[in-house]
Amino acid sequence: MDLAQIWRHPIKAIGREPLDRVTLSPCCTLPFDRHWAVTHDKANPVDGGWAQKANFLRGVSGPGLMAVTATLDEPGRSVTLHHPDQTDLTVAPDDAPEMLVAWLRAIWPDDLPQPKAVVASDTGFTDVPDAWVSVHSLASHRAVEQKLGRDLSIHRWRGNLWIDGFAPWEEFDLVGRTFRIGDAVLKGTQRITRCRATEANPKTGRRDADTLGVLRTWDHQDFGIYAEVIEGGEIAPGAKVEIL
């Protein structure tokens, strides 16, 4: 089993980028993964710590967000965003949040609470309050493709680490177990239950696949698992995956 791909999402639900390598730290997400998030008009106050996902713009409500890609400049703390229906934007979310909010209004549905503010968290705005990474299996993704009878982008799942070499759904067996990827050791914590965001095409931002219906044919609505980093270290595509 090998680590096939690494993906980071600097702004929660808004953009994705591949990584050639990354250093994981214990009890942390990928560096800058979901570091920023965008609140809406009906959100509760967010003080910089973790907050529930309902406070933020998300692909489950605005599928157009699924088509955003991103490039993060870590030293400058700026993000360049791309969308098929928008002019590219390079913005430092901490310094010019109004630019990001204005750019998103053209993508976000008019009948929903509108983008309001940008917030940041060093622990990451993941869907769960723990600073975990997500681990996914290419074999399980291919199983979903086969049931649907069409190719799907892996970016529907917005995963961090993609592993090749498992049997379909074998990654669920990692929950409660430790495993090594490159120089890092992780422990599987829980399965990830999916929402309608996965129905949206990451190229177009339009819903076009009944991913949840297909998952339910296996008597669950889960794809991928969360894992906690137990021992830090560098990982890169091609690294071996060893169950300990």
Structure tokens at 71: 């490039």
- The span from the CA of 17 to the CA of 11, in Å, is 11
For residue 47, the model assigns a pLDDT of 84
Q: Within its chain, how far is the Cα of 47 from the centroid?
A: 22
CB 168 within 8 A of CB 212: no
The ranges of the chain annotated as CATH 2.40.33.20 are 2-28+129-243
Residues lower than pLDDT 50 in the chain: none
pTM of the model: 0.96
How many CB atoms neighbour CB 112 within 10 A? Answer: 13
SS3 26: coil
For residue 49, the model assigns a pLDDT of 86
Structure tokens at 234: 């560098």
For residue 172, the model assigns a pLDDT of 98
Q: Which fold has domain 2-28+129-243?
A: M1 Pyruvate Kinase; Domain 3 (2.40.33)
- Reduced 3-state DSSP string for 182-236: CCEEEEEEEEEECCHHHHECCCCCCECCCHHHHHHCCCCCEEEEEEEEEECEEEC
Measured between its terminal Cα atoms, the distance across the chain in Å is: 13
For residue 48, the model assigns a pLDDT of 75
For residue 152, the model assigns a pLDDT of 97
For residue 68, the model assigns a pLDDT of 98
Question: Which amino acid does the sequence have at 88?
Answer: D
- DSSP strand E in 76-158: where? 78-83, 86-91, 115-120, 133-137
Question: Which amino acid does the sequence have at 187?
Answer: K
CA dist 81 → 108, 124, 126 (Å) = 15, 19, 20
Q: Which residues contact 173 (CB under 8 A, 6 or more apart)?
A: none
SS3 137: strand
- The span from the CA of 152 to the CA of 145, in Å, is 6
Quick one: 87 exposed, middle or buried, by C-beta within 10 A (0-12, 13-18, 19+)? exposed
Structure tokens at 55: 């406070």
CB 169 within 8 A of CB 218: yes
